[in-house]
Structure 1
Amino acid sequence: MIVARFVLVLALVVAMAAGAATAQSPARMVIATGVDPAFSQFYVAQEAGLFKKNGLDVQINTGPSGSGMVAFLVGNQINAGYGAEQAGITAHTIDKNVVIVAEGTTLLRWFSIVGGKNVNSLDDLKGKRVGIAPGTGSEVFWLEVVKHLKLNRADYTIVNVEAPEMVAALERGNLDGFAVWEPWPTRAIMSVKGAKIVRDSQGIFTGRNFIYMNRGWIEKNRDAAERFMTSIAEANDVINNHREDATQMVSKFLKLPPEITRELMPKLAFPLALTNDSVANVNIAMDQLIKMGKLKQPVDLREYVYPDLLRKVRPANVTLTLPKS
């Protein structure tokens, strides 16, 4: 009954707001991300009608990873993306208009290294094939495991694999293990005989997914950009204050069984903030990219982090201190 009443009230609010907005055509936006609950604000804003309530006509494009979709912000092919740390940095080096506007999700227990039938530890993976999705949180996590546990990267044969393909590759025997985010570890354990988690991220790495936008688009469409951020903030409220309703919406959007969605959501936090911890993760990713020869020098955080939209909508959520020079 509580869920039904909440959905009914939300529907009435959306309908009233949409009626008031009919005097002007909704602003058109294309946004993009991956297909797991770590990007829930995008899904809930769509499923709950919050974009529509705020006068936006939003198309959500999805791909195998949120990070893979961030690249489309280059040249303003999309207006907003949602992905991990490395993806935004790489896109920003190509197009300085790609900026962080908020940390959307803190990944509390989200990453795991999964081993196949005869793999029970990281030692068992030495000399074997480990699947990594390059340029995503998968790679960030794997490199932090290597660093934290003082592993020798040369002991492992890295295979570049998109996250949704990892489970099938493990089952076929094309991989001996992989490092990735949920729901793929859970799916592997459920569907691949002998699959198990050999190391999770606790005590090693807390990942963060960021909402990215194109600064050029923001400056030309300031009102629509603020309404977008308002929609995301309202979706964040639904997630944090009405978790079961949000779970049902995420499950519906992703076509992910509710029981799996319900199991995964507590592994995430949804701060919608910009803090010094947010910046710390960006610095970790920059350091990794520099060591791999993929980044010549750190990006200028004063250009890369754009707090204005979130500060306008939720000023208390912006607490970071950016360097002055």
Structure 2
Amino acid sequence: MRWKSRTVPWILICLGLIFVFPPHPEGAEPSTPRKIRVAFTSLSGSQAPPWIAREAGIFRKHGLEVEVIAMPSGVEGMNALIAGEVQFLQIAGGTTVSAALGGADVIVIATTIGTFVQNLVARPEIEKAEQLRGKSVGISRFGTSIDTGARLALRHFGLEPEKDVAIVQMGAIESIVPAMQGNRVQAGILSYPAITRAKKLGYRILLDIASLGIPYASTGVTTRAKLIREDPDLVRRYVSAQVEAIARMKRDKNFTMGVMGKYLRTSDPELLSESYEIYAQKYLMKVPLPTVEAVKSVLEELADRNPKAKDQDPKRFFEDSFVRQLETGGFIDNLYR
């Protein structure tokens, strides 16, 4: 009886501690979200997954409090990532690979769009690509996917970039159409919704670059390799939130268009609807796996301007384990049930 009388109070104390400090199940997100900063690098519907993840509360669901920052182009975004000002970047694979070749500790962890969703668009008086000889094509910045798209499009028509046709930096993709209107450049490489806006002005689509069917790490998520080594759980959460945001985009058009309108700063239903159909329904990948083929195309294009890109192993520039784990574990399939 004496043993029982002494044991019962201790049992009650232990039970009380369980309620005060409940067990933290493995894989559960912490009650206090991790604060991080991420950036997107173009006013394009291709950049929408982090917008959706923030506005739908998906980041918070995965234990993250995320500040989403706009950068005018991939160049500024990459500089911010390298400096540690942001932890993740929505950016072209080409910009990431180019920075890595230059010694930066950056790596692709997801490819959300695996080809060029861009058009070569010209002023109304330009009826065919040959008429661009001796004229100028506007891009955002050198070293971005917009720059790459310009070079591919010109070579497709037998024109040599910077020799037959000048490539002019505009600073940001949203500056290209106004530059065309002012005849500062006679053509430009555009994505949606800028393509829709240009068509409304009567400009001509000379080439839908996506129709070439080139596998290319066009848009995705980049981080520093150091973060993967030191905090893989943070990376896992961020990638999980992006994948879930893509699923939300694909099944909720009205919500997605509303968020796109906020970040793209437009209420034009035609612009938003076309951007939604092109990106959310057609090109955003349910399983955003980086691939050897997509990164190999990046290296081949860069090799013309950067000898360091020749004979590189594409696997050096991406880490696919986070997306692959979500795929094999059934996380992605469950999002579409």
TM-score, length-scaled by structure 2: 0.78
Distance 1:267 1:298 in 2: 34
Residue of structure 1 in register with 2:66 after alignment: 58
CA 130–307 in structure 1, closer or farther in 2 if over 3 Å, else same: same
Match of 2:205 among 197, 211, 221: 197
Q: Residue 261 of structure 1 aligns to which amino acid in structure 2?
A: L
CA 117–143 in structure 1, closer or farther in 2 if over 3 Å, else same: same
Residue of structure 2 in register with 1:183 after alignment: 193
Match of 1:100 among 108, 112, 115: 108
- Structure 2 residue 87 is matched with structure 1 residue 79: yes
- Structure 2 residue 233 is matched with structure 1 residue 223: yes
Contact 1:36 1:254 in 2 (8 A): yes
Q: In the TM superposition, what is the alpha-carbon distance from 1:299 to its structure 2 partner?
A: 4.1
CA 75–298 in structure 1, closer or farther in 2 if over 3 Å, else same: farther
Q: In the TM superposition, what is the alpha-carbon distance from 1:81 to its structure 2 partner?
A: 0.7
Q: SS in structure 1 opposite 2:96? A: helix
Residue of structure 2 in register with 1:47 after alignment: 55
Q: In the TM superposition, what is the alpha-carbon distance from 1:195 to its structure 2 partner?
A: 2.3
Residue of structure 1 in register with 2:254 after alignment: 244
Distance 1:215 1:39 in 2: 22
Q: In the TM superposition, what is the alpha-carbon distance from 1:104 to its structure 2 partner?
A: 1.1
Q: SS in structure 1 opposite 2:306? A: coil
Match of 1:265 among 276, 282, 286: 276
Residue of structure 2 in register with 1:111 after alignment: 118
Contact 2:292 2:315 in 1 (8 A): no
CA 315–198 in structure 1, closer or farther in 2 if over 3 Å, else same: same
Residue of structure 1 in register with 2:127 after alignment: 120
Q: SS in structure 2 opposite 1:76? A: coil
Q: In the TM superposition, what is the alpha-carbon distance from 1:75 to its structure 2 partner?
A: 4.0
Q: In the TM superposition, what is the alpha-carbon distance from 1:65 to its structure 2 partner?
A: 3.1
- Tell me the C-alpha RMSD between the 2 structures: 2.5
Q: In the TM superposition, what is the alpha-carbon distance from 1:254 to its structure 2 partner?
A: 2.7
Contact 1:39 1:105 in 2 (8 A): no
Contact 2:43 2:174 in 1 (8 A): no
Q: SS in structure 2 opposite 1:312? A: helix
Q: In the TM superposition, what is the alpha-carbon distance from 1:58 to its structure 2 partner?
A: 0.6
Instruction: Return 5+ residue gaps in structure 1 as ranges.
Output: 1-19, 318-325
1:3-50 Cα distance to aligned partner (Å, 9 max, x none): xxxxxxxxxxxxxxxxx97x7431111111122110121110001011
Match of 1:289 among 276, 285, 302: 302
Q: Residue 273 of structure 2 aligns to which amino acid in structure 1?
A: R
Residue of structure 1 in register with 2:316 after alignment: 303
Residue of structure 1 in register with 2:325 after alignment: 312
Considering only CA atoms, is the larger Rg found in Structure 1 or Structure 2?
2
TM-score, length-scaled by structure 1: 0.81
Residue of structure 1 in register with 2:33 after alignment: 26
Q: SS in structure 2 opposite 1:311? A: helix
Distance 1:76 1:93 in 2: 19
Q: In the TM superposition, what is the alpha-carbon distance from 1:159 to its structure 2 partner?
A: 1.5
CA 67–245 in structure 1, closer or farther in 2 if over 3 Å, else same: farther
Q: Residue 217 of structure 1 aligns to which amino acid in structure 2?
A: L
- Structure 2 residue 174 is matched with structure 1 residue 160: no
Distance 1:54 1:315 in 2: 19
Q: In the TM superposition, what is the alpha-carbon distance from 1:296 to its structure 2 partner?
A: 4.8
Runs of 4+ in 1 over 6 A off after TM superposition: none
Q: In the TM superposition, what is the alpha-carbon distance from 1:121 to its structure 2 partner?
A: 1.2
- Structure 2 residue 142 is matched with structure 1 residue 129: no
Residue of structure 2 in register with 1:91 after alignment: 99
Distance 1:310 1:203 in 2: 27
Q: SS in structure 2 opposite 1:306? A: coil
Distance 1:49 1:81 in 2: 19
Q: In the TM superposition, what is the alpha-carbon distance from 1:172 to its structure 2 partner?
A: 1.3
Residue of structure 1 in register with 2:16 after alignment: none
Q: In the TM superposition, what is the alpha-carbon distance from 1:64 to its structure 2 partner?
A: 2.3
Q: In the TM superposition, what is the alpha-carbon distance from 1:100 to its structure 2 partner?
A: 1.0
Contact 2:120 2:205 in 1 (8 A): yes
Match of 1:209 among 219, 242, 245: 219
Contact 2:137 2:188 in 1 (8 A): yes
Q: In the TM superposition, what is the alpha-carbon distance from 1:157 to its structure 2 partner?
A: 2.1
Distance 1:53 1:258 in 2: 31
Q: In the TM superposition, what is the alpha-carbon distance from 1:224 to its structure 2 partner?
A: 2.1
CA 296–215 in structure 1, closer or farther in 2 if over 3 Å, else same: closer
Contact 1:92 1:304 in 2 (8 A): yes
CA 96–152 in structure 1, closer or farther in 2 if over 3 Å, else same: closer
Overall identity of the aligned pairs, in %: 19
